[in-house]
Amino acid sequence: MKKTLSALLGLCLLSAGAMAHEFKLGDLKIGHPWSRAMPESSPTGGVYLLLSNRGKTADKLLSASTPRAAKAELHTHINDNGVMRMREVAGGVEVAAGQQVKFAPGSYHVMLMGLKQPLRAGDHFPLTLRFEKAGSVTVDVAVEDGVAPAAEHAH
């Protein structure tokens, strides 16, 4: 009984750790990049993450790219006379010194267009983020099934 309970606890801890992956680039931290699984026929998808700037100067996310899609753009949602619309962010997304910017459904996100293969739960794919000052970093995006993962809410 103790062995079974210990094994179950270990498995839970491994699962929680797998969901909370992060990457660093200088003073920037990129927390848990993830995408939602999409229907087989969907030509688009989104990537969500948490950008944290632990430095003393602002930086700006300028662009993103991935071999998984023909094009990746930085997008946000705006209220256009009571209608929520997605729009590309011109000039990038600033991350002020000591601040965080959350890329989440209904907010900032990396829009993937022209997906080369469906986004299936359990998949992973690379995403390269290019910053104005810090340079570029390639992160591993986890494709999740359903709503935002629990790790996303823990930040």
pLDDT at 51 > cutoff 80: yes
Q: How does the average pLDDT of the chain come out, rounded?
A: 85
Contact call for residues 117 and 123 (beta carbons, < 8 A): no
Average pLDDT over residues 53-81: 94
- Give the global pTM: 0.81
State which amino acid sits at residue 112.
L
- pLDDT tens for each residue of 81-134: 888 788 999 999 999 999 999 999 989 999 999 999 999 999 999 999 999 999
Task: To the nearest 10°, report the CA torsion of 22, 61, 55, 20.
Answer: -10
Give the gyration radius of the chain's Cα atoms.
17
pLDDT at 35 > cutoff 80: yes
Domains and CATH numbers, the chain: 2-147 (2.60.40.1890)
Cβ neighbours, 10 Å, residue 57: 10
* Host H or E run for residue 33: strand 28-36
Two structure tokens written together for 107 = 């907010």
Contact call for residues 30 and 129 (beta carbons, < 8 A): yes
